[in-house]
Amino acid sequence: MSKAEVLRLRIDSNLKKEASEAAEAMGLTISDVLRMFLVCFASEKKFPFDYEVPNAVTLAAIEEAESGKLKSYDSVDDFFKKMKL
């Protein structure tokens, strides 16, 4: 077995608390979670989850959706009626 190394990193205290609680709920420690991530990352040579940076069009759509200015409909029938379909 290879010698264990220590890895230190700085993270926001709220993130640490939330992640610790989530890990604990699964019977894990933060060290377990990070070790699992690193094993997967090293063996697959990619993130074990989708990681994409949104383009300008997507960012604009997100901003528009979060602004609350989008039209909404009570039902599909209401949508079709307003679209005159």
Q: What mean pLDDT, rounded, does the chain reach? A: 91
pTM (2 decimals)? 0.57
Domain CATH for 24: 1.10.1220
Separation between Cα atoms, residue 56 and residue 63, nearest integer Å = 10
In a domain, 7, yes or no: no
Structural domains in the chain (count): 1
Query: Do residues 37 and 48 lie in contact, with contact meaning Cβ atoms separated by under 8 Å?
Result: yes
> Which residue carries 């909404």 as its tokens?
72
Report pLDDT for 52: 80
Query: What does the pLDDT look like over 21-32, one tens digit per residue?
Result: 999 999 999 999
Report pLDDT for 59: 92
Separation between Cα atoms, residue 69 and residue 64, nearest integer Å = 7
Range of the domain at 41: 13-82
Report pLDDT for 1: 59
In a domain, 4, yes or no: no
In a domain, 1, yes or no: no
More confident residue, 20 or 84: 20
Query: What does the pLDDT look like over 36-65, one tens digit per residue?
Result: 999 999 999 998 888 788 899 999 999 999
In a domain, 32, yes or no: yes
Tokens at 44, concatenated: 């697959």
